[in-house]
Structures are given as C-alpha cells and as structure tokens.
Copies of this chain bind each other. A is one copy, B any other.
C-alpha cells in the first residue's frame, strides 16, 4: 500500500509510492523512450489496460474496439482505492495509507492526434468524461478532492505518447488548492466580490492579456504568469464547480480550450505542457468566492533552485507579449 506522509513544517503531503519503488540504477539508466513502438492506449489493445471504468461507445462491448474515449485505472497507480486511511503518528511525524483513485482518460483511439489537432467535439467529450468521473468519485465519502490534469510531451512528464489525461482523487485537500481557496476567500471578505470575476472583468477591459474569447469563456495570459506563455481558461459567469454548469457551457469551454491549445501549438510548435483543472473541493459549501478554471503551463524553461527555494518565479516573457503572439497567429498557422 502506498503511504501518505506529511511534512511536519509545511502543510504538505507526499505520496511514497512503493508500487513504483525505484532503485538508483533505474534513474541512472533512464533514457528518452523511443517514439513509436507498441502503445497500450491504442484501439485494439484494450486488453493491455485495466478494465474500463467508463467509455463513449456506439453499442460495442466494454474493453473491445469501437470507442471514442475510454477511462481506465492507472496500471501503476500512485494511490489505491481499497482499504482504510489508518491515520497514525510516527514520533513527531504523521502518515496515513495512500488511499484514493488514479485513473487515465484515453482521449482518442488515434495515436497521432492531440487535443490541439482533434475536433472541438472530441475535446468536449473529454470535458464530459472529466465531469462524469468527478461526479462519480464525489460519492466516495473517504475522498476530499479530485484532481484532473494532463501532461503532454515527455518534458512535461508524459510517460505515454498517446493523448491522455489523468485523474487523482485524494483523501485530503492538497496544499495548493487549499491556499487558492483561502486566497479567494480573503479577497471576497475584503471586497465582497469573487476575485476571478474581477480578473475576468479587468482582462476584458484591458484586453492586452486576452488570448481568445467566446460567449461564455475567455483565455488569458495571467498578470503574474509564472511561466512563459502560461494561459488560464475561465468561464465569464461565476461557476464555483466544473461539474455544475448548464449543459451548453461544456461546448463553449471546449472551444476555448481547444483554440488556446491550437494557438500554442502554432506559436511554440507543439510545446510540452501541463494543464490542471482547478475546481472547488468536496468540502466547500461556499459558492460565492471560488470560480473554476483551467491553468495551462507550457514547459519551455527549466524550474531550478530559485523557484524551489522560494515559490517565486522568474518569467522571461511578459504575459502581454505572450498574449499578443498567441492572439495574432491564425489557427491555420499564418501570422495575421
């Protein structure tokens, strides 16, 4: 069973993943994986993954070909769904069992497509799958947060080339999420307004950091971007939870997400990136002070000692310039 351990100084938890236990030689010999070769996420290889938890299929049987999207358990899960938390101390330290869920969303049967090249309709299906999994995992009262994220490209930590996202459901609210919720609460107490609503309003007025916009959503290069070409996708209307929107909003969200990734793809030539869905934790009942959004972080620079030591970032590309590059490229790749 993996173990969750808490740092005694910071409110920071770590998963000690014995499942993936690695000796020094595993790191020393680690090489870039060759491109191509066998892919367990491709259509026809359904028996090479754990059984599917859900899928979008046209009448075909589970774990056979004929799907447009599949969700399966991670074959090497960082957390396990069976068992109890068994919270306990070890001297001054605290730990519990690594209980939770770790799932993989296979976004397409096609090996060479990405969210930046697939049709908007497919991206919308991916968002529907996120929604369905969040709603389902919320029913497990042992869990407190569902993290949805994507690693694209080897430099961003993707171990498989085939387009996929991951879901990790946790028995604790992670530090960064708790801090963000707390930060938004402090702002709300002071101003009686949602900070994200204020960001949306100011960005739409100033325009200099807006990347793209439709009726319901916008994407911006945030004012205090940590990374070059960082982008956030936010609903214009105040929705605290990703899973609680009217049906028609998911298509709008997919359109902006897809367009933003397509623009990044053109300007930065298929950059490695991570994105993370930020949404309210299961414990929050407040609905006024939090506002779900995506944060997309291209991996163009290396995070080094300074960033680790301080939580302070050096960004060599002003967000106003990044937004301009992304805005001015045509989705067909030509500069306007």
Chain B residue at minimal CB-CB distance from A268: B24
Residues of A with Cβ closer than 8 Å to B? 3, 5-18, 20-24, 27-28, 30, 78, 90-93, 147, 149-151, 154-158, 166, 168, 170, 174-177, 179-180, 183-184, 187, 195-196, 198-199, 202, 205-206, 222-226, 228-229, 267-269, 271, 274-278, 295, 297, 300-306, 308-319, 321, 325
What residues of chain B lie closer than 8 Å to A198, measured between beta carbons?
8, 92
From the candidates B18, B28, B174, B271, name the one contacting A318 in the complex (CB within 8 A). B18
What residues of chain B lie closer than 8 Å to A275, measured between beta carbons?
305
> Could you tell me the distance between the alpha carbons of A5 and B317 in the complex, rounded to whole angstroms?
13
A228-B27 CB under 8 A given contacts A177-B310, A304-B151: yes
Chain B residue at minimal CB-CB distance from A92: B198
**B156 touching A304 by the CB < 8 A rule?**
yes
- Residue from the set A8, A198, A318 with the largest chain B CB neighbour count within 10 Å: A8
Chain B residue at minimal CB-CB distance from A7: B224
**A157 touching B317 by the CB < 8 A rule?**
no
Chain B residue at minimal CB-CB distance from A9: B183
- Residue from the set A30, A271, A304, A321 with the largest chain B CB neighbour count within 10 Å: A304
What residues of chain B lie closer than 8 Å to A304, measured between beta carbons?
149, 151, 156-158, 274
**A13 touching B224 by the CB < 8 A rule?**
yes
**A224 touching B5 by the CB < 8 A rule?**
yes
> Could you tell me the distance between the alpha carbons of A300 and B300 in the complex, rounded to whole angstroms?
18
> Could you tell me the distance between the alpha carbons of A89 and B3 in the complex, rounded to whole angstroms?
45
What residues of chain B lie closer than 8 Å to A183, measured between beta carbons?
8-11
From the candidates B21, B78, B195, B225, name the one contacting A321 in the complex (CB within 8 A). B21
> Could you tell me the distance between the alpha carbons of A140 and B6 in the complex, rounded to whole angstroms?
37
What residues of chain B lie closer than 8 Å to A174, measured between beta carbons?
309-312
Interchain residue pairs with CB less than 8 A apart (30)? A5-B224, A7-B224, A9-B195, A10-B180, A11-B179, A12-B226, A14-B226, A14-B312, A16-B319, A20-B314, A21-B316, A21-B317, A23-B321, A24-B267, A92-B198, A92-B199, A93-B223, A149-B308, A154-B302, A157-B302, A157-B305, A166-B306, A175-B311, A176-B311, A274-B305, A275-B305, A276-B305, A278-B309, A295-B309, A303-B303
> Could you tell me the distance between the alpha carbons of A17 and B312 in the complex, rounded to whole angstroms?
13
Chain B residue at minimal CB-CB distance from A320: B16
**B147 touching A310 by the CB < 8 A rule?**
yes
A322 vs chain B, min Cβ distance (A): 9
From the candidates B5, B158, B179, B318, name the one contacting A16 in the complex (CB within 8 A). B318
- Residue from the set A310, A314, A318 with the largest chain B CB neighbour count within 10 Å: A310
